[in-house]
A = this chain, B = another copy of it.
């Protein structure tokens, strides 16, 4: 199994759990869970593959991620009532899936010998668009635009770390792991400790 595929599988699983939780908040039925889980799990990688014009979208060449997403939907359907706060679990699952999906996007673009800005962007897009679609379709304010949290910033930092570490070592797993670690630490630190970059703050015009 290729590295991109393994990462796509792992990201699909965790994003699918978050999508199914969004479906539980919207009180959908089991098929609704599977739909929102699949959309979240496959959305980012699909947009990446369409943009990169890869031979086939990853889950059409091999529908395993689709099966993973549906399985995750079933599990969440029967267990979500055990959770204290579905919104918090959703947010943390999203925080776990984001780094893996960023690594998958960086890796897929690197294998196609794309330029540095495109590799960065594919990392960010693969990471961010699945959760964005989940939030838009389930009619919630996207996690990505919640003020005062690192989201796209964490994804971009992770993608940059992957590129940097790829130039320092020939071991192909190092960039993957470094990307996941940096993205997750930034996103988790932002959620847990409020880490953030300076946000735009309206100030009175200079007089």
Contacts and interface: CB of A to CB of B under 8 A. Distances in A.
Interface string A153-167: 100100000000000
Contacts of A52: 60
A46 interface: yes
A84 B207 CA distance: 12
A93 to B, nearest CB: 16
A192 interface: no
B60 A30 contact: no
Contacts of A28: 145, 147, 199-200
A137 to B, nearest CB: 6
Contact of A205 (B31, B34, B82): B82
A196 B29 contact: yes
18 contacts: A26-B147, A27-B147, A27-B201, A28-B145, A28-B199, A29-B196, A29-B198, A29-B200, A30-B198, A31-B152, A32-B199, A35-B128, A35-B152, A77-B200, A80-B200, A84-B205, A132-B137, A137-B144
Interface of A: 23-24, 26-36, 38, 46, 50-53, 56-57, 60, 63, 66-67, 77, 80-84, 114-115, 117-118, 121, 124, 128, 132, 136-139, 141-142, 144-145, 147-148, 150-153, 156, 196-206
List the 6 closest pairs (A to B, CB-CB), nearest first: A29-B197, A27-B147, A31-B153, A63-B117, A81-B203, A35-B152
